[in-house]
Amino acid sequence: MAEEFALDWLDLREPFDAMARDTDLADALLARLPARPRFLDLGAGTGSLLRFLAPRLGRAQVWTLVDADRELLEAAFDTIADRSEAIGYKVTVPNRRTLLVHAPGGAWRVETLVADLAEAPRGLPLHSVDAVVSSALCDLVSRDWVGRLAAALRVPFYAALCVTGRDRFTPPHPADRVVADGFRRDQGRDKGFGGVALGDRAPAAIAEAFGARGFAVSSAPSDWDVRSRGAMPMPGLHEAASRFLSELVMGHAEAAQRQDRRGDQRIGAWLEARLEQVAARRLAARIGHRDVLALPRRT
C-alpha cells in the first residue's frame, strides 16, 4: 500500500500548492485538450488539483479522481461540493459515485475510483481519458513506475509539485545541513510504489522516460514560499502559514531522525529553535518543487 496522507495536512497545504504551481505550464496543458476533456487524477486526495485546474479551463469537463484511500475520496466530494456552492455554483449528485458542479461555462462531472496506484497503469481507464494529471505524487514513486506509465500513455501527462531537494529555512541555523541531508535520504525510501522513491530525481526521471517515448517535455519551478509575516499573495493566510511552517519543521526533523543512527542531538536542537522562530513569526521557508508537463507529439 502506498504512503497515505492525513486530511488535515492536505487541507493545510492546498492554498500553498495553488500559489506555487506554474500557471503557464498548466495553461499549456489545458490548451492541448478537446472541447470537453476527461481528466484522470492520480493520487487525487481531496481533489485540490481539480480545484486548481477546473476553473482555469472554464468549460465542461469530466474528472476521475483516483486514490487508494476511500476516506480521502469521500472528503473530495464534500470539499468540491462545499467550495462550489460557496461561490454560487449549483451542485447535484446523480448517484453515489458522481458529483456534478454546474459551473457557468459548463458542468464539471466528477467521479471517483478507489485503486492502489502501486500497480499503475494496470487497472486504470487510460483508454477513455484526454489527460493524466497528478500533484505531489511523482517524487513518491519509483523509476520503474514512471517508465510503465510513459510506455502506456498516448495523452498529456502533467506532474505538479515534484520535490527538487532545494529547501531553505531562514534565518540559517548551524544544523541546517544535517537536517537537510537526513530529510533527503528519507525521501528516497520505498514509499510503496515498487522500489526506491525518486525523491528529488523525479523531474529528471519523468523527462527521460517520456522523452524516450517521443513526448515533448517541459518544466518550471513551483516552490513553496512560506512566511508568517509580510505581504502574502492571498489574503488571510498568515495564521495558516504559521501552522504550515510548524508542520514543515516537524516533518523535516522527524524524517532526519528516522535516518539518524547515531542519536545526533543537533536535530532536536534544530527542531526546538525552529519552532520558537515560528512562534515569534521569524521563520520563512522555501521548499523546492518543479512542475513537469509531457505532451505527445502532434501528428
Cis amide leading into 104 (omega within 30): no
Q: How far is CA 121 from CA 4, 55, 199, in A?
A: 19, 27, 20
Q: Does residue 87 or residue 1 have the better pLDDT?
A: 87
Burial 54-82 (b: 16+ CB within 10 A, else e): beebebebbbbbbbbbeebbebbbebbbe
Angle at 108 between CA 102 and CA 111, to 5 degrees: 125
Domain spans in the chain, listed from the N-terminal domain onward: 7-295
Where would I find the beta strands (DSSP E) of the chain? Answer: 38-42, 61-67, 90-95, 98-103, 106-114, 131-135, 157-170, 216-221, 224-227, 284-295
Given a cut of 90, whether residue 284 has pLDDT beyond it is yes
Whole-model pTM: value is: 0.94
198, burial (CB in 10 Å: exposed 0-12, middle 13-18, buried 19+): buried
Architecture of domain 7-295 in this structure: 3-Layer(aba) Sandwich (3.40)
Q: What is the pLDDT of residues 111-156, one digit of tens each?
A: 999 999 999 999 999 999 999 999 999 999 999 999 999 999 999 9
Given a cut of 60, whether residue 3 has pLDDT beyond it is no
pLDDT band at 235 (very low <50, low <70, confident <90, very high): low
pLDDT band at 228 (very low <50, low <70, confident <90, very high): confident
